[in-house]
Amino acid sequence: MRPLDRRRRRLLAAGGIAAFVTGSALVVARDGLLISQDTVLLWVLAGLFALSLSEIRRWRRGMLIDWLPLCVVLVFYDSSHGVSQLLGTSTHQSLQLDFDRWLFGKTPVAVQLQHLLHQGPSVQPWEYPLFVVYMSHFFMALLVAGALWRYAYPRFRQFRRQLVTLYGLGFLTYVLYPAAPPWMVAQAGGIPLHRVVVQVWSHVGLATASSLIEQGNAFYNQVAAVPSLHAAVSLLILLFFWRGARWWLRAILLAYVLAMAFILVDGGEHFVFDIIVGWLYAITVSAGYALAANTRLRAAVRRRSRTWRPARVAPITLPARPHGLAVATRADGDGWQAGAQPSPVGTEP
């Protein structure tokens, strides 16, 4: 590539990133924070467009082939509440509530934690970083997918398959098994439970941008508690990058998974049962794709071994024995004697 072309590409990339950052700030200032899956997806695609101004053909191809499965599954995921209502499935709470009581006693574990940590209507300073961890769920997976698409395309295809499968399993579970979160159960039973995320959100005063496909709360699924996709996605990211990651990256990802689980339970958003089921979903998806990859590899090796044939080697012809040379042959154990059979070993005259 000529220096002028490289300079032009760098200028295009820098200009695109500057325009994207400026536009993002204006959208957030006007409409609020982007947390719905469809708006976050459009935001990520706009960022990829800014990074791909010098490769517009690849970006157009990516929109049609690479990102379409994610778009489809996110639309279905956001409509799970409406589908569940059409099917007439009832909301469940007994299984997850009994499981948590079996582990931690009759008092909900969120109430125990909030009492232990002296949490109440006022916001504690350490709740702010946990609030950031909770909110990161709404864009973390799509940001990871976008970075992989731009800089590690084969890995993007692997991550996309796992993410689509995980969201698809979540959609099916939300439709067939709507489950109430702890804060909803506490409200119905008159249990004093503080929603930490809501309290911090109100204290910060952030607005949220409206979804493009949701109409008010018509598609907002408040009974999508089992599995916890907050827990499932965070663990899926950890498992995806675990092999080959440096120790400090593993430590950060593990801390992220544990911090996410803590704020989900402490904030009254999920039962421990929900988190364990979410982790099991992530482990199942990750292990399933790893097993499928190993199976395909072994099958390819077997096919190659069946079709492999040894190379044909041309026979080696020894030079003719010169005239007048005798050959050495072994007598019946009595040493060597001159013989008449051809051999490269000659006798002295």
Per the structure, how many domains does the chain have? 1
Euclidean distance between CA atoms 229 and 211, whole angstroms? 19
For residue 344, being part of any structural domain is answered with no
In a domain, 314, yes or no: no
User: 87-139, pLDDT tens digit by residue?
Assistant: 888 888 889 999 999 999 888 889 899 889 888 888 888 999 999 999 899 88
From its phi and psi, is residue 59 left (phi > 0), alpha (psi between -120 and 50) or beta? alpha
Distance (Å) of CA 25 to CA 33, 42, 135, 174, 180:
10, 15, 18, 34, 35
pLDDT reported for residue 323: 54
Does residue 317 fall inside a structural domain? Answer: no
CA distance 160 to 87: 29
Q: What is the mean pLDDT of residues 160-170?
A: 94
Residue 154 lies in a domain: yes
pTM: 0.78
**Residue 164 belongs to some domain of the structure:** yes
Domain assignment of residue 342, yes or no: no
Is 320 inside any structural domain? no
Query: Residue 266: which of 330, 195, 187 has the closest Cα?
Result: 195
pLDDT band at 71 (very low <50, low <70, confident <90, very high): confident
Q: Range of 34's domain?
A: 7-305
- Tens digit of each residue's pLDDT (9 = 90 or more) over 232-291: 999 999 999 999 899 999 999 999 999 999 999 999 999 999 999 999 999 999 999 999
User: Does 31 fall in a domain?
Assistant: yes
